[in-house]
Chains A and B, each alone.
Chain A
Amino acid sequence: MIDRRSFMKMLGASGISALNISQISQALFTAPRGAFLPSTIGRDNVAHVISRLTYGVTPQLYSHAQAIGIEAFIEEQLNPTTLSDADMEARLDDFPIVQQSSAAIFAEYEKDQNVVVREFLGAWTTNIRYSERQLYQRMVEFWSDHFHVYIRKGIVGFLKIDDDRAIRPVSFGKFRDILGASAKSPAMLFYLDNAQSQDRAPNENYGRELLELHTLGVNGGYTENDVKEVARAFTGWSIPQREEFSGDLFLYRPRAHDDGEKVVLGNILPANNGIQDGEMVLDILAQHPSTAHFISKKLARRFVSDNPSDALIAQLAGVFMETSGDSVSLLRAILDSDEFWNAPPKFKRPFDYTMSLLRALDMQVTNTQQFGRFLIGMLESLGQIPFMWAAPNGYPDIGAYWMNNLLPRWNAVLSMMNPTRIYTPNFDALSDLVTATGATSIEDIIAFWGTYLFGRTLTDAEFSTIYDFSLTISGDIPERATAAFALCLATPAFQYR
C-alpha cells in the first residue's frame, strides 16, 4: 500500500507536461542498458514469487499471499496436495469428452477430432486458470513442453488425452517416471513414428529426439551410431491397429522387436532382452550427467531467466544426480538460489501473457463453448496455442523469439476489457481490492494498479503516462480507472513475469 507522502509526490508528478515526460523518457533511455528493468526493480518478494511460480496474480491470490506471507505461500505451492482444488475440478465438468480414455473418445469422435482438441484445450486452460496448485500446474506444463507432441499430427489429438493423464500424476515426481510415462505414451509413439518402427529397418525419429530433446541434449555425448542402436532398442514399442483400440493403447509387439545385442553409450544390451531393451535405455539416460545438465538448464530457463548461469545449472545438475531428478528437490534448489531472487525479468510467452490477463481480470465466463473458441483465436494471434507447434522441441522459451509480435498482445487487452455476452472481467473483485486499500482518487487507484499487477510502485514515467491517458477518457473515475487498468496490462512491465 502506497503511503500518503509518496502519493502526494506522485500527484505532483502527474501534472507535468508532455515535454517533461519526454525529458524523463530521454533520461531513462540514455541510461546504461539494463539499468531499467521495469518489471522487477523494486518489486516485492511476494509479487516475484507469484509471477514466477504461478500463472499470474488474481484478486484472490493477491489477498491470500499477502495474508499468509511468502514462506507459507511457497510451502503451500511445494505441497500441492494440501490445497483443495474442488473449484477447479467442478469446472472441469464442463469438458466431459476428455474425461474418457483416448480409445473411447476415438471410437465416438473419430470424424470430429477438432471437437476433442477444443475440449482438451478448454480443460487444459481451466486447470491453469483455476487450480490453487499453481506451481504444480507450471510443472505439468514444463514436462508437457519437454515431452512435446503436436496435436495436429494424425490422431495425436485423441492420443494426447491419455498422454496428459499419464504426465500429470508424475509431474512433481522423479525424472525416470516422467520419461517412462512419455516413452510409453501412445501420443509420443505415434507422433515420433516409433509405433511403426520394426526390426527390419528401425525408424530413427523417436530414438534421435529421445537423446537430443528428452535426455542428453544435442551435445550430450552421443553418436549417430547411438541413435541407431537406441532406435533398435525401441523397435516393437507400439500402439494397436485403430480397429483394435481399447483401454491402454501402449502395445509391445515382440515380433517387431530387434532381438540382437545393442550397444548404447558403451552399455551392452544383451540379445533377446525384449521390452527390457527400452527400459534399460531409459534407465541409462535418466541417470546420465548430460541429462542432469540438460534438464537443469531448461528448468532454470523456465523459472529463473533466459540465460541461467553455469554455476546455477551445475548446482541443479548436482541435485538432479543426488535425487534421481526429483522435481520438487530441483524446485527447492531454485528457490534457495540467490539467482532466483535476483532474476532479471523474464518475457512472458504468449500463453503466459494470455493466462495472466485472464487471471488479473478474474475473467468470468458465461458461455464456455464460445469462450473456448475466443481463447483459441486469441492464442493463435499471439502465436502459442498449446501443443500446436509442429516440431518436437516445443515452443521456444526465450524472450527474443516472442518480442516481435506485440500488436496482438495489445489487442488482446482491448478485447478482454470489453464485457461481452460470453465473458466479463470481475470488476467487483477488483473494486473490493481497491476499497480495501482506502483508495478513492484516480491517482490512488492508478498507483494501486501498479502494486497489484507489478508488485511495486509505478515509476514516475509510468504513472504520468497512465494518468495522462486516463484523463483523455470521457467519464468519471470508474471509466478512467478501467482505462488505466487496460493500459497497465499492455505496459512493458506486464509483458514480463
Chain B
Amino acid sequence: MMNKKYTRRELFTQNRVFDNLASAQATIPHWMPRLAFAQPYNNPAGDVLVVVFLRGGADSLNMIIPHGDERYYEVRPRLAIPRPDDNSQPLKTLDLDGFFGIHPALSPLLPIFNAGQMKAVHGTGSPHDTRSHFEAMDFMERGTPNSFSVTSGWVGRHLATVNNGNTSPVRGVGWGTAIPTSLLTAPSTIAMKSIVDYHLNGDTQLAERLMRSLMSLYTVADAPLMASAQATQAAIEVIQQVDYATYIPQNNAEYPETDFALALRQTAALIRAQVGLEVACVDLGGWDTHANQGGAEGQQARLMTDLANGLAAFHQDLGMDMSRVSMVVMSEFGRRVSENANFGTDHGHGGAVLVMGDNFDFTAPVLADWVGLNPDVLADNEDLAITIDYRDILGELLMKRLGNTNTADIFPDYNLQLQNLFR
C-alpha cells in the first residue's frame, strides 16, 4: 500500500481514459442480407408485428372518410374532405369502395389498398368510457378497458405467452427512449432510438471491461433494473453486428427524413438482419387537433403525409417479405363527429384501425358495421359508435398471424368476436 501523499494536481490527471470514441467503427463488416450468425434468430411462430400508435386521438373520420354518408358533410361543413367526384376541388377523397375513401394526404397508401395488402377497420375502438387521453391510452395499451388491475401491456403478454422458443435478446423493440405501455413486462425487449448508436462508447476493449463490471454491479440491483441491464447487454451483442450504416432499402424504397420513417427503416433493417425481432412499436404524436385541424390540407394532413410516406416506404422496402409482417396502426380514440368552432374536433370515441400485411381473408378494403352518423346512433349522441371491439382485430391477428393461442390471457375477461380479417 502506498504512503505517498498525492497533490491534487497529481491525483487527477486530465487524461482521456475514455477516449477513442470513433475507433470502434472501423471493424464492422459489410452489410449482408442477414447476420453472419451460425443460426440466425427468427420468429418461429409467425409474422413480425409492427404496432404504430397515433398519440393524441386521431380524427379517423377525416382519414377513412365515409363520403357516401350524407350526414358526414352536414356535421363537418368546414373540415369535410370533398367527395371523390367533386371536380370543383383539386384535393378530394380517394375512393376505396364507393362508400369509404381515404384522405388525399394518404394517397401513398392507395396502391397498397388496391393490392389488397392494407385494410381499414372503421367504427372500432376500446369500450372504455373515459375521454381522457391518458386513461384511454392506458386502457388500450394494457388491453383491459376500464380495469386497472392488470399492469402488463398486451404486447408484453403476447411475448410472454407465445412460447415459440425464440432466444433472441431483441424480441421486442420500442423505438424511442422508453418502451410504450403496450410492451410493459415484455421479455427480451429494449427501448432503442438508433441501431448505429446502440453500443457502449469509447475504446472497444475498455468498453468490454466496463460492461462486465456493470453487469456485476447490476446483478444486485432491484429486479426490474437488473433485467433491463442484462437485456441491454445481450441486445448490444446482437445489435452491434447489424451494419445499419450501409443498409440500403430494397425495391428503390425511399424513406422520408422523419423520426417516424426512420423508426420504420430501422425496423426493416432488423427484420432483414434476422435478429429475432418479433414486435416493434413506433409512436407518431400530434393528433390532438382541437384547433386548426385543417381539411384536405393543414395540420392533420401533414401528419397523414408523414404517416403515409413512412408506411409506403416500409411496404416497398419489404416487398415480398411483407408476407411475414403484420402492421397495425391505432389511436386511443376517434374524435367527435361534429367539428368545433376552432376548425378542430374534440375528444370522441369510436375510430379506425389500419392493418397492413399480405395475409388477409377479408377481401374488401374497409371492414365496418357502419351504423351511420345520425344522432340517434351516435355514442352519447355525439361520437362514432364502436361496433367492432379493437381486441377482436388484435386478438385475431395474434391467433392467426403470430401463432399465439393464449388470447384469453392477453385480453382477459373478453370473448373475441372473430371478424375473419386474417387468414
| A residues with CB within 8 A of B | 11, 21-22, 25, 28-29, 33-34, 36-38, 192-193, 196-198, 200-205, 208, 212, 218, 224, 227, 345, 347, 350, 380-384, 390-391, 393, 400-408, 410-411, 414-415, 417-419, 424, 427-428, 430-432, 434-435, 440-441, 443, 459, 461-462, 465-466, 468-469, 472-473, 475, 477-479, 481-483, 486-487, 490-492, 495
How far, in angstroms, from A472 to B285 measured CA to CA in the complex? 46
Contact B346 A204 (CB under 8 A): yes
CB contact between B193 and one of A381, A431, A461, A462 (< 8 Å): that residue: A381
The minimal Cβ–Cβ distance linking A60 to chain B, given in whole angstroms, is 15
CB contact between A431 and one of B11, B179, B200, B226 (< 8 Å): that residue: B11
How far, in angstroms, from A400 to B231 measured CA to CA in the complex? 15
How far, in angstroms, from A441 to B176 measured CA to CA in the complex? 43
How far, in angstroms, from A483 to B202 measured CA to CA in the complex? 13
Contact A404 B197 (CB under 8 A): no
CB contact between A417 and one of B1, B18, B56 (< 8 Å): that residue: B18
A-B contacts, 20 listed (Cβ < 8 Å) = A33-B222, A38-B220, A192-B290, A198-B342, A201-B341, A204-B290, A218-B134, A391-B134, A404-B190, A405-B177, A411-B200, A428-B9, A431-B9, A440-B4, A441-B2, A478-B13, A486-B17, A492-B217, A492-B220, A492-B225
CB contact between A469 and one of B132, B210, B226 (< 8 Å): that residue: B210
Which residues of A are found within 8 Å of B5, using beta-carbon distances? 440
Which residues of B are found within 8 Å of A466, using beta-carbon distances? 213, 217
CB contact between B198 and one of A25, A401, A407 (< 8 Å): that residue: A407
Contact B8 A406 (CB under 8 A): no
CB nearest to B183 among chain A residues = A404
Residue B55 CB within 8 A of the other chain: yes
A383-B178, A404-B228, A462-B217 are known contacts. Are A473 and B17 too (CB-CB below 8 A)?
yes
The 7 closest A-B pairs by CB, nearest first: A383-B177, A431-B8, A201-B341, A427-B12, A492-B221, A469-B213, A205-B290
Contact A414 B202 (CB under 8 A): yes
The minimal Cβ–Cβ distance linking A21 to chain B, given in whole angstroms, is 6
Contact A419 B12 (CB under 8 A): no
Which residues of B are found within 8 Å of A459, using beta-carbon distances? 220
**Interface mask (B368-385 → A, CB under 8 Å = 1, otherwise 0):** 000000000000100000
Contact A428 B8 (CB under 8 A): yes
Residue B286 CB within 8 A of the other chain: yes
Residue B409 CB within 8 A of the other chain: no
| B residues with CB within 8 A of A | 1-6, 8-19, 55-56, 130-135, 174, 176-179, 184, 189-191, 193, 197-202, 209-210, 213-214, 216-226, 228-229, 231-232, 236, 285-286, 288, 290-291, 340-342, 344, 346-347, 380
How far, in angstroms, from A350 to B8 measured CA to CA in the complex? 31
How far, in angstroms, from A53 to B178 measured CA to CA in the complex? 26
Which residues of A are found within 8 Å of B218, using beta-carbon distances? 492
Contact A202 B344 (CB under 8 A): no
Contact B347 A390 (CB under 8 A): no
CB contact between A486 and one of B13, B18, B228 (< 8 Å): that residue: B18
Which residues of B are found within 8 Å of A28, using beta-carbon distances? 219-220
Which residues of B are found within 8 Å of A405, using beta-carbon distances? 177-178, 191
Contact A203 B290 (CB under 8 A): yes
Contact A435 B8 (CB under 8 A): yes
The minimal Cβ–Cβ distance linking A27 to chain B, given in whole angstroms, is 10
The minimal Cβ–Cβ distance linking B273 to chain A, given in whole angstroms, is 19
Contact B213 A205 (CB under 8 A): no
Contact A193 B220 (CB under 8 A): no
Contact A25 B220 (CB under 8 A): yes
CB nearest to B179 among chain A residues = A404
CB nearest to A379 among chain B residues = B177
Contact B15 A482 (CB under 8 A): yes
How far, in angstroms, from A461 to B218 measured CA to CA in the complex? 10
How far, in angstroms, from A383 to B131 measured CA to CA in the complex? 27
The minimal Cβ–Cβ distance linking B180 to chain A, given in whole angstroms, is 10
Contacts beyond the supplied A218-B134, A459-B220: 16 A-B pairs with Cβ under 8 Å = A200-B341, A383-B176, A383-B177, A390-B286, A391-B55, A404-B174, A405-B191, A411-B200, A411-B201, A418-B19, A424-B14, A440-B5, A466-B217, A477-B6, A478-B10, A483-B17
